[in-house]
């Protein structure tokens, strides 16, 4: 196969303690460490592996978002992607951008770039939507293989092991197809520092949703963003009877 498109989203780093803005209309992002969505790292790694096995010729990394999204494209390039496409959406507009928009953008790019495979992370750790891969496949009317645990090339196309509740499922699919990477698909490599330097020289194209003919008008309105409830202090009970009494009192049994 010739070309793989991977989606990379810039999200608040997994190790950061997320804080809600005082206005309760979102979370604090200014001055907060961001990095590539961990599932997208797995997607990039899988694409790079395919290239190393000579099953892929070129890897194109795509990110949709404000200017800073280019950071994660650079990371993907340092990991082994060949070129990048930044679909610029201004920060204010980006807050209301949804999988329905992103999937249309990715689908359009997949066709424009003549991609044979689109690999995405199964979900982003910020909005946890888990929709983009499925919607992209739908827009393209391509087969989809979500929650990939293993991807192998076979004569007809790909043999894919999927993570499902309580076990694994093996399926076959033709290409072109859309895959979504699950946690155990691989262990992403670290970008080495020399490769980060080399990545700076790799091409990075900038487009807008308008260029692609995708309407990004918001479909939602954020009413309120709340902190999760603070855990109530516990209490030590004297014995089992007291415990049962307490549980009954709380209506738990």
Partner 1 sequence: MFKLNNYGTRKLVLDVCKNRLYSASAAVAPKTKAKQEPKRENESFMANIFRGSLVTKQVFPYPDVLSDEQKETVGGMLDPFQRFFTDVNNPARNDENSVIDPETLKALWELGGMGIQVPSEYGGLGMNNTQYARLCQIVGAHDLGLGITLGAHQSIGFKGILLYGTPEQKQKYLPKVASEETYAAFALTEPSSGSDANSIRCRAVKSADGTHFILNGSKIWISNGGLANVLTVFAQTEQVDKKTGEKKDKVTAFIVERGFGGVTSGPPEKKMGIKASNTTEVYFEDVKIPIENVLGEEGQGFKVAVNILNNGRFGMGATLSGTMKKCIEIATNHANNRVQFGQKIKNFGTIQDKLAQMSILQYATESMAFMISQNMDSESQDYHLETAISKIYSSECAWHVCDEAIQILGGMGFMKEPGLERVMRDLRIFRIFEGTNEVLRLFVALSGIQFAGNHLKELQRAFRNPASNLGFIFREASKRASSSVGLGGTDLSSFVVPELKEYAKNAAVCIDLFGRTTEAVLMKYNKNIINEQLVLNHLANAAIDIYAMIATLSRSSRAAQLNLPTAEHELNLTKALALQASERVIQHLKKASSGQLQTEKKMITAIATKIFDEEGVHSTGPIELN
Tell me the window of 98-106, 157-165, 189-197, 239-247 that interacts with partner 1 (CB under 8 A).
189-197
Number of H helices, E strands in the chain: 7, 11
Region near partner 1 per CB under 8 A, out of 116-124, 185-193, 205-213, 239-247: 185-193
User: Is 127 among the residues that bind partner 1 (CB under 8 A)?
Assistant: no
Contact between residue 145 and residue 185 where contact means Cβ atoms under 8 Å apart: no
Query: According to the binding rule CB under 8 A, does residue 223 interact with partner 1?
Result: no
Strand partners, 85: 62, 205
In this structure, are residues 34 and 11 in contact, taking their beta carbons and an 8 Å threshold? yes
**What's the CA angle centered on 193, arms 192 and 194, to 5 degrees?**
95
Binding to partner 1 (CB under 8 A): which residues in 49-88? Answer: 71, 74-75, 78
Identity of the residue, 6 or 212, whose beta carbon is nearer to partner 1 in the bound complex: 6
Least separation in angstroms between CB 45 and partner 1: 14
Stretch near partner 1 under the rule CB under 8 A, chosen from 46-54, 125-133, 177-185, 186-194: 186-194
The crossing angle, in degrees rounded to 10, of helices 132-140 and 99-112 is: 50
Binding segment toward partner 1, per CB under 8 A, in 28-36, 207-215, 217-225, 227-235? 28-36
Q: How far apart are CA 203 and CA 131, in angstroms?
A: 29
Q: Where are the alpha helices (DSSP H) in 80-176?
A: 91-94, 99-112, 132-140
Candidates 42, 56, 191, 212; binder of partner 1 (CB under 8 A) is 191
Q: Note the residues at the interface with partner 1 (CB under 8 A).
A: 30-31, 35, 71, 74-75, 78, 190-197, 200
């Amino acid at each position: 196969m010739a070309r793989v498109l991977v989606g990379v989203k810039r999200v608040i780093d997994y190790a950061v303690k997320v804080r809600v803005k005082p206005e309760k209309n979102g979370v604090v992002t200014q001055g907060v460490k961001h990095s590539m969505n961990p599932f997208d790292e797995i997607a990039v790694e899988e694409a790079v592996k395919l290239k190393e096995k000579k099953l892929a010729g070129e890897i194109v990394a795509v990110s949709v978002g404000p200017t800073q999204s280019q950071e994660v494209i650079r990371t993907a390039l340092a990991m082994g992607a060949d070129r990048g496409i930044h679909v610029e959406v201004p920060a204010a507009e980006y807050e209301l951008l949804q999988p329905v928009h992103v999937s249309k953008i990715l689908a359009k790019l997949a066709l424009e770039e003549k991609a044979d495979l689109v690999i995405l992370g199964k979900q982003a750790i910020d909005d946890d939507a888990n929709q983009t891969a499925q919607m992209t496949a739908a827009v393209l009317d391509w087969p989809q293989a979500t929650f990939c645990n293993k991807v192998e090339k076979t004569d007809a196309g790909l043999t894919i092991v999927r993570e499902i509740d309580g076990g694994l499922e093996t399926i076959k699919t033709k290409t072109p197809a859309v895959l979504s990477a699950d946690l155990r698909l691989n262990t992403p490599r670290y970008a080495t520092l020399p490769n980060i330097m080399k990545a700076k020289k790799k091409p990075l194209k900038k487009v807008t949703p308008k260029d692609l003919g995708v309407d990004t008008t918001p479909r939602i309105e954020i009413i309120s963003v709340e902190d999760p409830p603070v855990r109530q202090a516990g209490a030590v009970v004297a014995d089992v009877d007291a415990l049962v009494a307490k549980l009954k009192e709380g209506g738990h049994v």
